[in-house]
Amino acid sequence: MRETNFISEPELLSVPSPFILESSRLCVLESLDTPLDSLYARLLDGTYEKPYIIEDGRLRYLHFGVRYVQSAMRIDRPDVLKLRYTQKMMSFLLFKKTPGRIAMLGLGGGSLAKFCYRCLPDADITVIEIDPHVIALRRHFAIPEDDVRFRVVRGDAAEYVASAVDEPIDVLLADAFDEHGLAHSLASRSFLQHAYAALEETGILVMNLAGDQSRYVELIEAARDIFDRQTLLVPVKDDENYVLFGFKQRHFDPDWHQLRLRAKELKASFELDFPAFVQMMERTERIDTMNKIMKVLAG
């Protein structure tokens, strides 16, 4: 007899994981009578079309495919930012400590959404997610219910940004991916142009770049052009990601001494290593890491 049980919602099936992790479980949006042989085969050959969860009792991971982890959550502390790139994306707080309006593109496991909801109580947060199956998993990643200052909206992220000019955005966090990497709708010059237009005068674009590098090499150059070279590209060694920052503020000239002081305050408030983040960002600017990385990506 196969071992099965439901978790929280009747459509989520939990079975032993077919992957390498010892004692891990697979949680899928399937009915109890789903044939396991067929399910496992589609998961292992990459043809399974829905997001799924792998958990080991301590950590819960969201996957769109075998190759990439889309999100990771500590089950005992679901609001903690587990993946390093999500921590670095929060570096926008160095430059905009109290954002009024935050838009997030891509829900995933809701790591950034939960963190901002808990730590920035004065911020209005809208999350755009195109995949209804991702939204269906929100309770399993402890994502808050919609309320007056937080909402998850099903829709196309690029279309949302293109129509957002009437309500300027303070911080735009772009972290939308599919099983291959960066979502196609965000990997374009037109998206960056709309993002620039949607930001308020001192707004910041923060974009996670990962997966297939061919999707974002040209995007980096386009961002540099559209944001008038007011960009920083920060590598995330542990996760093999890059975080791209685009600053709309004209004549952006960071005061690194003040930012180092602010980083210490932020570390005390948010339990993230902001001093290390600001050190890396300052080094990035001084040695022009953008050019260095572009040469590497170009081969």
Is 175 marked active-site?
yes
- Given 170, 175, 178, 239, the catalytic residue: 175
CA angle 277-61-120, nearest 5°?
45
Cα–Cα distances (Å) from 14 to 10, 17, 36, 224, 244, in that order, read: 11, 9, 11, 45, 37
The residues carrying an active-site annotation are 175
